[in-house]
Amino acid sequence: MPHKFKIASAKNGEFVAKFVYNAETLVWSENYKGKDSAQNCIDSIKKNAPKAATVDLTKQENGKGYRFEIVGSKDGQFFVRFVAANGETMVRSETYKSKSSAKNCIASVQKNGPKADVVDEA
């Protein structure tokens, strides 16, 4: 099953954007009040993720513009955020035991996101 974006129902009649492969959700957005906002999030990822820099915050790296951030969690694991040019987090990943798994998540979004279909499940 190919990579795809999903717009899904969330709490309180809101919507969430997800990037999935098979049954695994790689990244997901905050909850949005409207489907159009979830779609805008997806459109921005498709457009901006392929050329976005990767910033490793565990190494105190800094970045501007659209970027992926590798973040250390309190339990010594890692997760990924995709951040917009204005500094807002657009999506985040689950936590991974290894930094290489976090980097694989970024590579998947960059490579497979632009051509991924969007499925409205809400």
The pTM assigned to this predicted structure is 0.91
Average the pLDDT over 90-116 and give the result.
Answer: 96
Residue pLDDT, tens place only, 14-26: 999 999 998 899 9
Domains of the chain: 4-115 (2.30.29.80)
pLDDT of residue 25: 94
CA distances from 102 to 1, 15, 24, 42 (A): 21, 25, 14, 20
pLDDT of residue 23: 84
Is residue 1 over pLDDT 80?
no
Residue 33: half-sphere exposure toward Cβ, Cα within 13 Å = 0
Average the pLDDT over 107-113 and give the result.
Answer: 96
Residue pLDDT, tens place only, 34-90: 999 999 999 999 999 999 999 999 999 999 999 999 999 999 999 999 999 999 999
- Kindly give, in sequence order, each residue whose CB lies less than 8 Å from that of residue 18, ignoring residues fewer than 6 positions away: 5, 6, 7, 8, 25, 27, 28, 29
